Structure 1
Amino acid sequence: MDIFAWLPADATHIFFVLFLSFLIGVEREERKISDERYAFGGVRTYPLIGLIGYAIAVLSKGELLPQTLGFAVVAAFLMIAYWHRLSSSGYAGVAAEMSGLATYLVGALVYRDMFWLATAITVSSVILLELKAQLENLAQRIETTDILTFAKFLLLSAVILPLLPNTQLTQFQINPFTTWLVVVAVSAVSYGSYVLQRLTKAQSSVLFSALVGGAYSSTVTTVVLARRSRQDEQAHLYSGSMLIASGVMYLRLAVLLALFNRALMLKLALPFVLLGGLAMLIGWLWSRRGAAGEAKTMTPFEPKNPLEISAALLFAALFVGMLVATQLAVQHLGLAGVYTLATLMGVTDVDPFIMGMTQSASSVTPLTVASAAIIVAAASNNLVKGIYAFTLSSRRAGVESLCFLLGLAVCGLLLLLL
């Protein structure tokens, strides 16, 4: 039963306008109490502005011109209030005046029965006004390079991606839209880790750097941790952290498989999650042995921006190259060629090869072959990281890391038996 059924429609609308505009007024009233500077409006002014917006909409029967003129008149009064505050206090903020204009629009939207939009504008306004200090502190922490980086992400995802054709081209069935979508997805995962590293670099620890860096690039993280282990005697801490980074790699691969190939996800996601979780648990327990149990801080490494246009184009080229190479290997070299290619790709970045497998699986490459090739590539990458760690780390940390990563590679290959 509708509790407002017995009320006139206008009464319901007026109640809704009063309620929403009162929320903004309450927030402004609190600001006036806590702020010594002149502040515009409060619990009476904002409801009145909302009622004016609704009344003009009713009188004009929803026509745009009268509502626009009413908006201009309200804006003129707000401009006078702003000028008075500016001349008396010198404070140039316009948040109060802009919230007044938003309140006027709330009244007009309620008349058109756009209750959801009116509520969304009200709630958003209250949140933005209430979180003033927090948002200003966040803005001070954001550097110009971070804004540019996010703009590059929007360029990759919201500008370039929709322009690409979603059709199969050439005899190798290259889909430009899918190719760039893979680039965006992989870049987004790395970008999330990149942002987290930049936001937390002041309190970064070895374990946290391994955890976050593994989502960015477990190979790069292994190299950085291996080099820094020479400056510290806590071999357990660094060898365990390198194992954690490689464990995160399996979780990262499980996410990418879930995004781009459901069949491969069903075969590999659960084993990868279990293997990655086990590696992270063992790495954490090992890192806590002896003095390594302390949360030693470290200067975090500066990862390369994953959203550089050149990096995205390079990944796209590698991805297409892996699609072509995989199809040629299947046609001319058989299974041995695919597995050899997977082993070789473990030396560098396995993402282009694995993402290529997600696109060719079931169509060009049999599903069982594709899943086995992904397992081989990940195991090969772990072996190569073990060699990097053994070569670049202190002697003890290098031996421990090589044993751990070799064991992780063997455990990964054991998945082939399943």
Structure 2
Amino acid sequence: MEIFSWLPKEGSQILFVLFLSFLIGLEREESKANDDHFAFGGVRTYPLIGMIGYALSVLSDMTLIPFLVGLCVVALFLLLAYSHKVKKSGHAGVTSEMSALTTYLIGGLIQHNLLWVATTLVVATILLLSLKQLLEGLAKKIESDDILTFTKFLLLSAVILPLLPNQALTQFQINPLKVWLIVVAVSSVSYASYVLQKLGKNASGILWSAIFGGIYSSTVTTIVLARRSQTENRPHLFSGGILIASGIMYLRLTILLALFNQDLLKQVGLSFLCLAAIAIAFGFLWSKRGDGVDVNLGDIAAVKNPLEFNTALIFSILFVGMLIATQYAVHFFGDSGLYTLAGVMGLTDIDPFVMSLTQNTPSLSPVAIAANALLISAASNNVMKGVYAYFLSSKNSRLQSCLCLIALAGLGIIPIFLFH
């Protein structure tokens, strides 16, 4: 507000009220010009409402009674306007009326010097009003079951998570808060991919499905692409997509390490990024070798919602099991036991094992040893996906897909010798 230092404090506040309420009025004026229905207010009405809110906030002083009475009066006028709109056009939308109430409140917020709150409300209001078609289209693409599932997950993560004890329990030093926080993080990364696949399922081709599927689960994506290759004579396209999905897996692991163990990230992050870049680049170039244009693929969008409670619960059980198994392996068999466990877990879902290492490093094993275990687990997972690809893919693409994944697995263990 220094730019208006030559004005009294109230003068600069009035200008700010006029400016913000005018922005809302301007958006409503443009909407009214493009709408056949009767619409309330415009570039004059909304600033007036904002000024009324500001003036009554000044008069309220230490009590909110005048300001609340003014709010009720403005609401009655808006009710009359709404009733007239419904009778005249039959259109029952109330966004203009609600934005007018918001404008009234903005006057009071500015009078109390809550400028950031007032500006944020205006920006949010204009975005909600302007993005009507986009938001309504988004709502139609999201199924009601997904909304209910996400709401349940919010209950578990935002309500229950803070209630969990933040202390190590049992001889295995299991922290319930950290365990569930990891479940939330891993599920959220998968859910972001899941939502993108759901929203773009009608336009996604093999390569886009490989990218989003790799974020969700590179193993699931490999199986889906391998099976689909039997109906499409595009061996390079499908084998390249499978390789891209495994490259995305390394990016996913890098994100998880960045969230939960910076020491492991520093040790193995560069290797993961290099492996991801090699797999994605080579997979993309390989997919363009003489197979024609990309094809749509909606199957991956039908994968299980990662935010379903059962899915999250199973992951938490696996994660706790891996915490215990990792400690036993290191305690009884040392580094070789950890490497063996890494190779075995790579044949299944590696996320629980990876996250167990983030919690057990460096307290249980040195960072370098844990980094080697991560590389072994990821390489083992690529070998297993190569087996899936070989037996599930078409005759023309099975060898290509298998060799690509085996080669990536071989590259994935080279950093072990470099670190050594």
TM surpasses 0.5: yes
Partners of 2:238 and 2:36 in 1: CA distance: 53
Q: CA deviation at 1:130?
A: 2.0
Over 3 Å counting, the alpha-carbon distance change for 1:62 and 1:84 in structure 2 is farther
2:235 alignment partner in structure 1: 235
Partners of 1:387 and 1:51 in 2: CA distance: 70
1:296 alignment partner in structure 2: 295
Question: Is 1:143 the equivalent of 2:143?
Answer: yes
Cα deviation digits, residues 12-70 of structure 1 (max 9, x gap): 11111111111112222222222232211122211111111111111221521221111
Partners of 2:295 and 2:119 in 1: CA distance: 48
- Secondary structure, aligned partner of 1:201: coil
Q: CA deviation at 1:247?
A: 0.8
Cα deviation digits, residues 299-332 of structure 1 (max 9, x gap): 3331111111111111111111111111111111
Partners of 1:395 and 1:342 in 2: CA distance: 31
Partners of 1:141 and 1:240 in 2: CA distance: 29
Q: Describe how 1:32-71 pairs up with structure 2 within 5 A.
A: 32-71=32-71
Cα deviation digits, residues 66-116 of structure 1 (max 9, x gap): 211111111111111111111122111111111111111111111111111
Question: Is 1:331 the equivalent of 2:368?
Answer: no
Partners of 1:37 and 1:296 in 2: CA distance: 42
2:125 alignment partner in structure 1: 125
Cα deviation digits, residues 236-282 of structure 1 (max 9, x gap): 11111111111111111111111110000001111101111101111
Q: Describe how 1:304-319 pairs up with structure 2 within 5 A.
A: 304-319=304-319
Partners of 1:108 and 1:410 in 2: CA distance: 65
Letter in 2 for 1:297: N
Question: Is 1:173 the equivalent of 2:154?
Answer: no
Letter in 2 for 1:56: L
Partners of 2:14 and 2:165 in 1: CA distance: 50
Partners of 1:374 and 1:95 in 2: CA distance: 52
1:413 alignment partner in structure 2: 413
Question: Is 1:270 the equivalent of 2:270?
Answer: yes
Over 3 Å counting, the alpha-carbon distance change for 1:60 and 1:155 in structure 2 is closer
Question: Is 1:15 the equivalent of 2:39?
Answer: no
Q: CA deviation at 1:396?
A: 2.9
Query: What's the TM-score, normalizing by structure 2?
Result: 0.96
Partners of 1:38 and 1:279 in 2: CA distance: 57
Partners of 1:47 and 1:248 in 2: CA distance: 51
Partners of 2:124 and 2:254 in 1: CA distance: 36
- Secondary structure, aligned partner of 1:395: coil
Letter in 2 for 1:79: L
- Secondary structure, aligned partner of 1:333: helix
Q: Is the 8 A contact 1:386 1:402 kept in 2?
A: yes
Query: What's the TM-score, normalizing by structure 1?
Result: 0.97
Letter in 2 for 1:296: V
Q: Describe how 1:4-403 pairs up with structure 2 within 5 A.
A: 4-290=4-290, 292-301=291-300, 302-403=302-403
Partners of 1:16 and 1:345 in 2: CA distance: 60
Identity of aligned residues (%): 56
Q: Is the 8 A contact 1:218 1:249 kept in 2?
A: yes
Letter in 2 for 1:40: F
Letter in 1 for 2:101: L
Partners of 2:203 and 2:56 in 1: CA distance: 55
Q: CA deviation at 1:206?
A: 1.2
Q: Which runs of 5+ in 2 are unaligned?
A: none
Q: Which runs of 5+ in 1 are unaligned?
A: none
Q: Is the 8 A contact 1:315 1:352 kept in 2?
A: yes
Letter in 2 for 1:39: A
Q: Is the 8 A contact 2:224 2:299 kept in 1?
A: no
